[in-house]
Amino acid sequence: MKILISGAAGQLGTELRRVLEHGKSELGILPIELLGAEVCSYDVDTLDITKQASCRRVLQTEKPDVVINCSAYTNVDKCEVERDAAFAVNALGPRNLAICCEEVGAKLIHISTDYVFAGTEQEPRSEYDLPDPISMYGKTKLLGEAYVREFCSRYFILRTAWLYGYAGNNFVKTMLKYGKANGALTVVSDQLGNPTNAADLAHHILKLAATTEYGVYHCTGEGTCSWYDFAAEIIRLAGIDATVTPCTSAGYAAAHPEAASRPAFSALDNKMLRCSVGNDMRDWKEALACFFDNYHEY
């Protein structure tokens, strides 16, 4: 099998490459179809997904069996200001990959987000719930999903949330940095969701890649917590001498008027995984503890 990864230098792309190289993840052995897979790694310098000509040139040359799109404009606040850039990466990029995957007969695995939901419901969202994004990030990601569905017949859309991994920047590393530097953190306590370890997400992406179980999936860590809960557990596991103080979204918005609106309750239910290939996503605390067992740069 030949697998092409776009956004291969990011935290998820790096984790996918590592898992494929070793033939196993923290959750277990990969499907036999993926063992020894040929991996083609592309980042923005070699594959600009916002340009259809770039996508077509690369896919026609490589002719992969599977394309995994990890490219995204993920700075939620900047998406509100740099709207054209967010639209190009999050919407046009998936469209271009979908069209070119269809041309070469490749499966497309596209990574989306919990932010396609408004977050006004008080129970985890399932794949059949209707999206209603409240930020430009969520809106552009939702349009990217729509383009994938429209232009590719062999697609998997995986919505994930609060992602962290060994490579790249993420909330875990930010809390470690500022907790160690300042000895104090103030974190929003009334926004709830599912912290997700990139190792768990990578395992399920690759498990799906070996199948024809096409469709929309939610793929997040099990269990729901607030950003404050998440930060407090990070500081505790790291053993950093820092206090973590809760604040409200309204208080944070008053101090940071440039910040985009975020869902109050964006937890997802991994229903499609449970009902098809199986849901092996770990409880968020278990997965975070495993992360710290293997991450030693703090």
Active site residues: 137
Helix axes 93-104, 52-62, angle to 10 degrees: 30
CA atoms within 13 A on the CB side of 245: 8
Report the C-alpha gap between 55 and 50 in whole angstroms.
Answer: 8
Report the C-alpha gap between 275 and 175 in whole angstroms.
Answer: 35
Report the C-alpha gap between 288 and 148 in whole angstroms.
Answer: 31
Helix (H) or strand (E) holding 251: helix 249-255
CA atoms within 13 A on the CB side of 290: 18
Angle at 147 between CA 142 and CA 149, to 5 degrees: 95
